[in-house]
Structure 1
Amino acid sequence: MDADDDEETWGAQEAGAWFEQAPELGTHLAIYQQVLVAYGFRCALTGAAFEPISQGVHGDLAVVAIRPRELGGPLHVSNFLSLSNAAASAFARGHWLIGDDYSVVTDRDVMAPAFAEKLDADGKLFLPKDRLYHPDRVQLAWHRTRILGRP
């Protein structure tokens, strides 16, 4: 198992543990499932499709808060992204950000080359069809400020 495999496994375990152990479990699991369904069981960063599940934690997709709940993020689908485990790990490390226009900004110097090649060619995030589920721009600005120190 290489380092990328470790990161992918860690991402799924961390996301699964949070959703399974969080207070208001039913609400969190409902949001988790809504996010996966809204994105069509696809990674928002790469657009890669994964096998749907009807319940429980997905082994290949993490549901990641743009702004964590403990830091004031809302418990709403628009504050979460459906990401492959590798994309989730890179997002948590600040290796990529999302602009107000849903453009993806990456730091290819720190992102694994094999992963960087999987990014969407048009440079945009894969979005759910329903605009209600699009990432909240306020939370995206918070994430950029947290990572870059500026909006």
Structure 2
Amino acid sequence: MTKAVLTTKVTPVYDDLPEIRYHFPKSYLRQVSEAVGDWIVYYEPRRSTGDPSSSGGRQVYFATARVEHIIPDESRPDHFYAEVSNYLPFVRPVPFKEGSLFYEGNLKKPDGSTNKGAFGRAVRNIKDSEFDLIWQAGFGHVIGIEERTRPAPDAPEDPMPPLDGFHETPLTFLSDVPFEQDRRIVEQLISRPFRDRAFSAAVKSAYNDTCAMSGIKLINGGGRSEAQAAHIRPVEHRGPDSIRNGLALSGTFHWIFDRGLVSIDEDYTLLLAKDRLPDTIGRLLIGDRRLIVPERAELRPHPKFLDYHRREIFKG
């Protein structure tokens, strides 16, 4: 077994659903096969689509998951699916390079420039130590090794605001953090309390601590937001801990959403269960009764998870 980086675009060329599966051609079969039973990180490249001139991708590692097995694509010769489990988004998307630090050593040439040939491979096997650095950088908030500083007054607006409105300090010190490497990391990544904290932080950051149904944002004196992170497809229904399977909701709307008293249509229109809610709930909803979603399309609720909630949870 060995760990790997799997590249997937904002609008994938292949039939990717990173929370569940990764679609790839036979040319990468050996690299993916070596990662079966081990952990991978997902990388979002600069190109957002299959068009070579496209851009807009964040060039970040954005999530981790575990490869369970590989199955052939019955509809497309010489293509395969890697089915994954334990998907978890990073609280802080991690750039492939920070200062002089390349998280993947093979991406750095001896002169310090980027090895574009290595970078062009969609699947790249990595060392355990490189995975550890990426993992620590992505979950620094949750594991308590990352400091936070307020942005400078003239700092540009961050398109992906970090948790609680703070900007992150560079993580150049991570290699000095003591870890009982793989065992401790795996224990963390499959621990429900850890996953709940990471999922909550990532979802609330994506929604800027704002309730997606009411538009209300409340922050206490200690910087903690009132919003909660809700799963669209519940964990007990095999729903992944993905930002695209999450919503930031106030306590009240989290309660009624989990109980199927409100749901979300394909166009993000809010659906209310008939004759089951008091009129006061309607008055708390955002004016046009459409869900507030993140600006970046790749962070918005995925249609598959919304469809599941409407079919299996909603009591409308």
In which range does the TM-score fall when normalised by the shorter chain?
Answer: 0.7 to 0.9
Which moves more between the two structures, 36-45 or 105-114? 105-114
- Which shows bigger deviation, 102-111 or 30-39? 102-111
Aligned to 1:135: 301
1:70-85 pair list within 5 angstroms: 70-85=236-251
| 8 Å contact kept, 1:45–1:87 | yes
- Aligned partner letter, 2:246: F
| Aligned residue identity for 1:29 | R
Unpaired segments ≥5 residues, structure 1: 1-21
1:45, CA displacement in angstroms?
0.7
Cα separation, partners in 2 of 1:89 and 1:143, compared to 1, 3 Å: same
Q: CA deviation at 1:143?
A: 0.6
The answer to whether the 8 Å contact 2:245/2:305 transfers is: yes
Task: Select 1:64's aligned residue among 230, 238, 241.
Answer: 230
Task: Give the 3-state SS of the residue equivalent to 2:284 in structure 1.
Answer: coil
CA distance in 2, matches of 1:35, 1:124: 18
Q: In structure 2, what is the Cα distance between the partners aligned to 1:91 and 1:149?
A: 10
Q: Once the two structures are superposed, what CA deviation does each residue of 1:23-73 show, in whole Å capped at 9, x if it has no partner?
A: 254343222111111111110111111217988xx5732211101122121
Asked if structure 1 preserves the Cα contact closer than 8 Å seen for 2:199 and 2:242, the reply is: yes
Match of 1:110 in 2: 276
Distance 1:69 1:118, change over 3 A: same
The number of residues matched between the two structures is 127
**Matched letter for residue 28 of structure 1:** D
Could you say if the C-alpha distance between residues 72 and 49 of structure 1 is closer, same or farther in structure 2, counting changes exceeding 3 Å?
Answer: same
On the 8 A contact 2:260/2:315 being kept in 1, the answer is no
- The alpha carbon displacement at 1:111 in A equals 1.5
Aligned to 1:86: 252
Change (3 A) 1:106 1:74: same
The residue aligned with 1:97 is: 263
SS at match of 1:42: coil
Distance 1:101 1:148 in 2: 16
Select which of 215, 231, 236 maps to 1:47: 215
Instruction: Calculate the TM-score normalised by the size of structure 1.
Output: 0.73
- Give the counterpart letter for 2:270 in structure 1: V
In the TM superposition, what is the alpha-carbon distance from 1:128 to its structure 2 partner? 1.2
**Structure with greater proportional strand content:** 2
Aligned CA RMSD, in angstroms, stands at 2.6
Report what 1:38 is aligned to.
206
Cα–Cα, structure 1 residues 99 and 52, in superposed 2: closer, same or farther, change >3 Å?
A: farther
Matched position secondary structure for 1:128:
coil
Question: CA shift at 1:109, angstroms?
Answer: 2.1
Aligned to 1:121: 287
In our comparison, the structure showing a higher alpha carbon Rg is 2
Farther-moved stretch of structure 1 (43-52 vs 81-90) = 43-52
| Greater relative contact order (CA < 8 Å, ≥ 6 in sequence) | 1
C-alpha spacing 1:38/1:108, structure 2 compared with 1 (3 Å): same
Unaligned runs of 5+ in 2: 1-189
